[in-house]
Structures are given as structure tokens and as C-alpha cells.
Amino acid sequence: MARWAIAIHGGAGVDPNLPEHRQEEAKRVLARCLQVGVDLLRSGAAALDVVEAVVRELETDPCFNSGRGSALTRAGTVEMEASIMDGRGRRCGAVSGVSTVKNPVSLARRVMDKSPHSYLAFDGAEDFAREQGLEVVDNSYFITEENIGMLKLAKEANTILFDYRIPLAGADTCSALAAASEKNNSNGMVMNGLPISIYAPETVGCAVVDSNGFTAAATSTGGLMNKMTGRIGDSPLIGAGTYACGHCAVSCTGEGEAIIRSTLARDVAAVMEYKGLPLQEAVDFCVKERLDEGFAGLIAVSGTGEVAYGFNCTGMFRGCATQDGFMEVGIWE
């Protein structure tokens, strides 16, 4: 039998000054969701079932930007997207513009398993979810008071705001953004043209290889705060934000447009296949050579039970575990 392994993430690009209690909260959620996956793998569950279950857990917790707690559009609504891929036969499913489906990753799975298509979006995706009997909720379920405040901040600044968890108390909009810009001058990190202190994509994802050597990956996100309605990022795009095959399974996070241009997830598999690189070397090569001036991170597992991750920004919320007992949850290098 093959060795199972699992890796999860909660987003790349972390403010170095993120309060300690926020860091601990994120690590607790990651550890809990990682344990869900570990328990399933120990019981012999298939990789595809594990990635769906773990991402559902991440979508349900408002700590990260997927499902409940998703970022808001300019209109103050939530438009979520997700994808899932089975390394066996490279089957895949993806959805975008989802506004009432409680767990978008499960809708992506239904697209793969129960439809003749690979990708559904907006009204078509919503209609299909109802046909399939998936749980739907009012759009208000996904919206938190904190996000409403951060959307107001973003609109007053006339910009897209990436870190929708900047504390609002005691600071007006202009001074908050000015302080963020000043802080960026000191640490030099910019993502999508904005200081790292106001950027936290917090997309979630999971990559798994099971005890039969089969791989799967899934990714889910709410996108960017104050984004244009209809904006689609890398998370639902197979080969960009998500990929799985016999060599590996990959889930990406970070600057969506850069990930799309580099087809980052597929590239990890490609350099393993065509250059013969082992998993970690393939991850390092793609993060270093394929992102041009973009910032991103990714998690990956190989078909032989290795785990790897890489990022070229200040941090990535992540966790991983293997059958031999290794387990880790971290944020920084």
C-alpha cells in the first residue's frame, strides 16, 4: 500500500504584524481541520472524499475567506468559487458566482460527478445546486459584521481591500490606509499593488494522497473585498488554482491573476513529469521561476506520500501530516 499524506492551507501573504491572537485562532482552525483529514485517511477514506470534507470544514468556519466569512463584492454580496480534482483520470468540477450554496466545494464535486460539464457559474450553478438537493442558505449567512465594516472602509478609499480584518475601532478610513502604506514602506512587501498590511487573501485548499496512491485537490474562496461583481480568480480554474494527477495534487493561493498567468498548479506537475524533479524541488522551481513579479504560495502532495509547500511572500497559513506520524501547522518560514 502507498503512504497517505495531506496538506492544507488558509491563504498566502500574511501581515508580519498580525496580532498574536489572530495567529493562534488561525492555527487552531487549521489544526482542527487537518485532524479531520487525518482521521479520515486513517480510516481508509478516498482522497477525493477527504479533500471535500476538509474544505467543507474550512468553508464553515468564518476564520478564513471561503464560505461563511467570505469577502464582499462592491454590491455588498458574496460571490464564492471553488474547484475539485480527482487525480484518477483527471476528472474535475468547478463553480463560480455562487451566492447561496452553503458549501461551494460540494457543488463543485456534484458538477464533476453528476453533470456532463466541468464548470458551472452564477445562475446555472445555483440552479444545479437546487436540482441536486444541496443545502442552500440566504446570502446573509455568509456575511459577517466585520466584513460589512471593511467593505465600507474599502469603498470610502475607492479601492479593493484585501485584508478585510483590519481593526476598525479608533481609526478613520484615510488614516488607516495611510498607516498601512507607511508600514509597507518599512517592510517593502506589496501584493496586487497594495501593502501587505492590507492584504490577506485567505483562500483555503487541501491536497491529499490516500493509502491507495490516489491523489485529489480542492480549493475554495470568497475572492477579494470590494471586487467587481463577476470577477473570477484562480481558485476555480483547473491548472491554475487546483490540479491533481498521478504525480501530485496541488492547491494554490495568493495573487490570483499571477497564478492564472503562470498556470501554477499544473506547472508543478509538469516539471515533475518532464524535468523529473522530486516534489519539493518542483514546488520551489515553480514558485521561484513561474510567478514573474507575482506573489503566491501553494501546498502539494506526491503520489508516493511526500508533502511540500512553498511561498514567495511573508507567510502562508498551512498544515500538513503524513502516515509516518509527521504533523505540522505553521504560518511563517
CA distance 163 to 197: 7
CA distance 217 to 118: 15
Q: Which long-range contacts (CB under 8 A, 24 or more apart) does 279-285 make?
A: 279/248, 279/306, 279/307, 279/308, 280/306, 280/308, 280/310, 282/248, 282/308, 283/308, 283/309, 283/310, 284/310
For the purposes of burial, counting CB atoms within 10 Å of the CB of 79, is it exposed (0-12), middle (13-18) or buried (19 or more)?
Answer: buried
Question: Which of 73, 77, 144, 203 is an active site residue?
Answer: 203
User: Does 242 carry a binding-site annotation?
Assistant: no
CA distance 235 to 242: 7
User: Does 135 carry a binding-site annotation?
Assistant: no
CB 232 within 8 A of CB 21: no
Beta-sheet strands, E only, within 154-247: 190-191, 194-195, 204-209, 215-221, 242-244
Q: Does residue 203 have an active-site annotation?
A: yes
Q: What are phi and psi of 263, to 5 degrees?
A: 40, 60
Q: How far is CA 229 from the centre of its chain?
A: 19
Burial 105-142 (b: 16+ CB within 10 A, else e): bbbbbbbbeeeeeebbbeeebbebbeebebebeeeeeb
User: Does 231 carry a binding-site annotation?
Assistant: yes
User: Does 253 carry a binding-site annotation?
Assistant: yes
User: Does 234 carry a binding-site annotation?
Assistant: yes
CB 225 within 8 A of CB 72: yes
CA distance 142 to 181: 29
Angle of helix 122-131 relative to helix 104-114, nearest 10 degrees, comes to 80
User: Does 32 carry a binding-site annotation?
Assistant: no
Which residue numbers belong to the known binding site for substrate? 231-234, 253-256
Which residue numbers belong to the known binding site? 231-234, 253-256
Which amino acids are annotated catalytic? Answer: 203
